[in-house]
Amino acid sequence: MAIVAKSFGGRLALTHLPEGVDRMVLWAPAVLGPFADHEPSIDASELAEIAVPVRVLQSDEDEVVTVGNAASIAEHLPNGDLIELSGEDHSFLHDEKRIVELTLAFLSD
């Protein structure tokens, strides 16, 4: 089973990972990761326990979540990777086809 979660759903997926999930794609997860300026929503030790592969898609023009924050999350996941999307905002409405392609490619690996 796979999870695709957007924004606050990314926080729910990371902090309440159901059994049987074998990979996740998080679109602009509204989660404060390790080393955030404010109190993190999830810390490095919690991320280190998530063994499933996780792809984080993060836009460079997001007004809610920064690329640096998403990178911090991805680098603390044992099997995490980050793809930075140029020209997108938090809504991911500018290049939907590319976002779906990146998501499906990861889920079909």
The structural domains of the chain, ordered by start, are: 2-107 (3.40.50.1820)
CA distance 104 to 109: 9
Residues 90 and 62 sit within 8 Å (Cβ to Cβ): yes
Token pair, residue 101, equals: 């392609």
Residues 81 and 56 sit within 8 Å (Cβ to Cβ): yes
| Cβ neighbours, 10 Å, residue 104 | 12
Q: Could you tell me the pTM of the whole model?
A: 0.90
Average confidence (pLDDT) per 10 residues, the chain, 109 residues: 92 88 94 66 87 96 88 94 92 90 93
CA distance 80 to 62: 20
